[in-house]
Structure 1
Amino acid sequence: MKIDRIVFALIATTTPALALASCGAAFCTVNSNWTTQSAASETGSMLDLRYEYIDQDQNYAGTSRVAFGQIARHHSERATRNRNLVVAWSHNFDSGFGLTVTAPLLDREHAHVHNHHGEQIDQYWNFRRLGDVRVLGRYQLLYADPLTSGGNAGLTFGLKLPTGRTGIRNDAAEPAERSLQPGSGTTDLLLGAYYNQALPAINANWFVQGQLQHAISPRRGYQPGDQLGLDAGWRFSINDRIGVLLQLNAQLKRRDSGSEAEPQDSGGRYLALSPGLAYALTDDTQLYGFVQLPVYRHVNGVQLGSRQALTLGLSSRF
């Protein structure tokens, strides 16, 4: 089937890390490489272009939504609007090794009120910058014939590089919070594992994947908290071109640390349900889209969150 030919081009290798803090900087946690469904046993490359829209205009404390300024803070968060274009290039080698390089281009707006000695000062940032690039390798330990119901399994390993800027300022020369900046300034270790299985008898595939992200050392008074991402997904092919997608995305994040961090308002536990559709334009190119709906969140302190997030993408094998 046409929609199944592309699925063997690339394993689900990268899940953009959920970068939540009080300011609300974020990536969508949908695993867009799940649209390719299965591990690559063929040599070749793939290009994935993905657009994310996350409008974080809700304040949360713990599991509850709270009103703007309800809980006293040095600054009261209004909203953050994230528009991300994520470009991922992947190549699979004959040896069972593969490589994925992911570069996010960020378009971010943020507004909050700075509470200074009883005075309320509106502050605003708007920037478009390159974020932190990820280089992720993988090694496939277990192969299966895509026409059978066997499974594929492997390991992922790599680095998040400090390519994004950390000194963005607004028109009033006020620096943005470190968790809002395009980059964290740190080099992070990425380790993970995956398993996926084709079910040709019912035209379906499923996968599970986990990935840990750990900042190796602080940078200029800031170290983002460790993050663990867990994903599970299912894909059912309706016909040669159309596939129905469903994911469950979980993120666990520890508090940020350092003199430039906001540990009281960072980290938490998040769970989202992400239904979607994929459409094969050709044997080697497909469109996909997801709507990510929060199911559960428990944040430390007060943090911004969204009611939903949107992901649209295009994947092509060559």
Structure 2
Amino acid sequence: MTKLLLASSFKFITLVSSITLASNALACATCGCSLSPDGALGYATNSGWGISLDDSFINQNQLRSGTGTISAAQVQALTGQEVENQTINRYLTLGLSYSSGTDWNFKLSLPYIDRSHSTYGTDATLPLTSSQLSSASATGLGDIKLIASYQGWLPTKNLGVQVGIKLPSGNYGGASVSNTNGTVGQGSVGRNPVGFGPAGNSGSTYLDTSLNVGNGSTDLILGSYYFQPVSQNFDAFINGQYQFSMKQELNQTGADYRPGNQSNLSFGLRYEADPLIVPQLQINLTHKNADSGALADRNDTAGNVAYLSPGVTMSVMQNTRIYAFLQVPIYSNLSGYQLFPRYTASLGMSTHF
């Protein structure tokens, strides 16, 4: 019954995306934190400037396929299948916002990404030991987002739409067409793509294109949200967002890459009996299509994921709030063989002036 309900929810995500059109990358369907910061902090209703900072930690250390787990030895037994070991992601995102009043809000998001990745490669004849691991580290400014929100549709100002753009500001790329072995220093495309260190099965080759801090894509972001008190002490919200690639810098024949389209749907409850301490619960759903192109891991980048996300928001001084959330996966259906987190942790703060 639970699986049927979640499957229906993912169909609803697709419907939300279609309505929005008419009106967050790793080799995993959960490429980044799917938590809704707007749900955590509340939607802007006052004019003025705001600053926010979000710190998210995602440790992808579990191999999964479909709806279940799978061992590294089982993956290695598959011909030509890469056996990934671990991806540790740290996202530090600075947000700058401006509200002209109760109707319009503009937000610029500047992410800094610190990612380490290790893999055993695709050689089925070598043991799965630490000496065979290849490791790479990708750090730096990620892809910037600018989103405009309008919530002047209703007198209550609690229904909004969003339009935004993601820019290819982070470093991205991979091996060029002529570099058939993917060896670092023998030809690349993009801007400063990261390579593995010299050790291990994949030593001195380029990191997967989807694991760099940027992906070279200019994306359009469309979304909508609604929030409403449901009793004396409870507020509820729902928001959906759809992101798809419009233009790819990696567009050379044989060395192209396009990230898969992604839909996110979040809904939750906030308990506001005490305005200084607000416990809340979110459910976050993500649907991601497969990446495409010669530089894409086309078989291992699509899927559906659901998180249960308990957390709390606290007011620590005038116009300043902090929040802490733990996202626990309750459902995943992933294509291919992907690294998946057991949990995601997020801390954030926001101040307005």
Q: CA deviation at 1:197?
A: 1.4
Distance 1:185 1:210 in 2: 24
> Match of 1:280?
315
Q: Secondary structure at the match of 1:190?
A: strand
> Match of 1:55?
59
- CA pair 21-285 structure 1, distance change in 2 beyond 3 A: same
1:260 corresponds, among 295, 298, 310, to: 295
CA contact (8 A) 2:107 2:146 kept: yes
Correspondences of 1:12-91 after superposition (within 5 Å): 17=24, 19-22=25-28, 26-38=31-43, 40-71=44-75, 72=78, 73-91=80-98
> Match of 1:9?
none
Distance 1:83 1:179 in 2: 16
Q: Secondary structure at the match of 1:164?
A: coil
Q: CA deviation at 1:20?
A: 4.3
Residue 66 of structure 1 aligns to which amino acid in structure 2?
Answer: I
Q: Which runs of 5+ in 2 are unaligned?
A: 1-23, 173-192, 199-203, 251-255
- Asked if 1:169 is matched to 2:199, the reply is no
Q: Secondary structure at the match of 1:263?
A: coil
Percent identity over the alignment is 30
Residue 93 of structure 2 aligns to which amino acid in structure 1?
Answer: V
Distance 2:209 2:300 in 1: 12
CA RMSD of aligned residues (A): 1.9
Q: Deviations over 1:137-181 (max 9, x none)?
A: 11113345xxxxx56111100111001101112333421101111
Q: Deviations over 1:26-67 (max 9, x none)?
A: 3111112222223x3321121111111111100001001000
CA contact (8 A) 1:25 1:180 kept: no
Correspondences of 1:90-129 after superposition (within 5 Å): 90-94=97-101, 96-116=103-123, 118-119=125-126, 121-129=132-140
> Match of 2:334?
299
CA contact (8 A) 1:37 1:206 kept: no
Q: CA deviation at 1:257?
A: 0.3
Q: Deviations over 1:59-90 (max 9, x none)?
A: 00100100013122442110111111111111
Distance 1:65 1:266 in 2: 16
Q: Secondary structure at the match of 1:69?
A: helix
**Which one has the largest radius of gyration?**
2
In the alignment of these two chains, the number of paired residues is 293
CA contact (8 A) 2:144 2:169 kept: yes
Distance 2:241 2:261 in 1: 11
Distance 1:94 1:196 in 2: 18
Distance 1:115 1:35 in 2: 41
Q: Secondary structure at the match of 2:121?
A: strand
Spell out structure 1 runs of 4+ moving beyond 6 A. none
Q: CA deviation at 1:251?
A: 0.4
- Asked if 1:223 is matched to 2:253, the reply is no
1:154 corresponds, among 136, 152, 160, to: 160
Distance 1:152 1:115 in 2: 51
> Match of 1:10?
none
Q: Which runs of 5+ in 1 are unaligned?
A: 1-16, 145-149
Distance 1:177 1:290 in 2: 30
CA contact (8 A) 1:79 1:112 kept: yes
Between Structure 1 and Structure 2, the one with more strand by share is 1
Residue 176 of structure 1 aligns to which amino acid in structure 2?
Answer: L
Residue 187 of structure 1 aligns to which amino acid in structure 2?
Answer: T
- CA pair 159-95 structure 1, distance change in 2 beyond 3 A: same
Q: CA deviation at 1:192?
A: 0.7
> Match of 1:133?
144
Correspondences of 1:192-231 after superposition (within 5 Å): 192-199=223-230, 202-220=232-250, 221-231=256-266
What's the TM-score once normalised by structure 2's chain length? 0.79
Distance 2:205 2:245 in 1: 26
Q: Deviations over 1:70-115 (max 9, x none)?
A: 1224421101111111111111114822211111111111100123
> Match of 1:244?
279
Distance 1:310 1:152 in 2: 28
CA contact (8 A) 1:26 1:82 kept: no
Residue 250 of structure 1 aligns to which amino acid in structure 2?
Answer: L
Q: CA deviation at 1:234?
A: 1.2
Distance 1:261 1:313 in 2: 32
Q: CA deviation at 1:119?
A: 4.5
